């Protein structure tokens, strides 16, 4: 039986703190259950916060950067540029059709610089004769294990803008 205060009401602390051994076990189990519920609730709210934050505060992964002006490059010619960082060499090629394509200039084998071989209309790596399709970046021959990362391009007015990198150009 729980002791009462002079006013006849049980104090809150008497309900929570038991003086009997049997009741202590009960209180411990109840507290543990409360702890589990509150912890689960806290984790649920935390996950909701992370989800909301990633949904509403997404940062663009790549900068937008002008790489050329329309007409700067003749069909079959190239322009070298850096993207997305200052130490990331890339190559822009204007195809015979007039379309522009751009890739990382680092060969996916051992990072030698690829160049455009106009006569064969492909990108070539001089180190181990790795060849890539200039239209898709796919490996045509040699030891490179992956296609060249492709720089996504957008035309805005007379500017050609780099907007990001696609690691597998065949998914475009």
The binding site for ligand FES (CB under 6 A) comprises 107, 109-110, 112, 125, 127-128, 130, 142-144
Q: What is the DSSP string of 47-77?
A: HHHHHHHHHHSPPPSS--EEEEETTSS-TT-
Query: Shortest approach of ligand FES to residue 130 CB, angstroms?
Result: 3
124 beta partners: 115, 131
Q: Which is nearer to ligand FES, 109 or 146 (CB)?
A: 109
* β-strand partners of 43: none
Residue number with CB closer to ligand FES (68 or 147):
147
CB of 87 to ligand FES, least distance (A): 18
Q: Rank residues 41 and 110 by Cβ distance to ligand FES and give the closer one.
A: 110
Contacts of 150 (CB under 8 A, 6+ apart): 101, 102, 103, 104, 136, 137, 165, 166, 169, 172
Least separation in angstroms between CB 92 and ligand FES: 19
């Amino acid at each position: 039986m729980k002791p009462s205060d002079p006013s006849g009401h049980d104090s809150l602390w008497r309900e929570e703190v038991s003086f009997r051994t049997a009741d202590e076990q009960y209180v411990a189990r109840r507290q543990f259950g409360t702890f589990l519920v509150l912890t689960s609730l806290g984790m649920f709210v935390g996950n909701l916060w992370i989800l909301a934050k990633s949904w509403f505060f997404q940062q663009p992964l790549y900068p937008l950067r002008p790489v050329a002006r329309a007409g700067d490059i003749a069909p079959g010619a190239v322009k070298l540029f850096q993207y997305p960082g200052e130490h990331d060499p890339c190559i822009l090629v204007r195809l015979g059709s007039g379309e522009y394509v751009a890739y990382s200039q680092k060969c996916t084998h051992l990072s030698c610089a690829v160049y455009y071989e106009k006569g064969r209309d492909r990108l070539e790596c001089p180190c181990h004769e790795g060849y890539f399709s200039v239209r898709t970046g796919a490996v045509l021959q040699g030891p490179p294990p992956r296609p060249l990362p492709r720089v996504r391009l957008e035309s805005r007015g007379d500017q050609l803008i780099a907007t990001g990198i696609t690691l597998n150009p065949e998914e475009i």
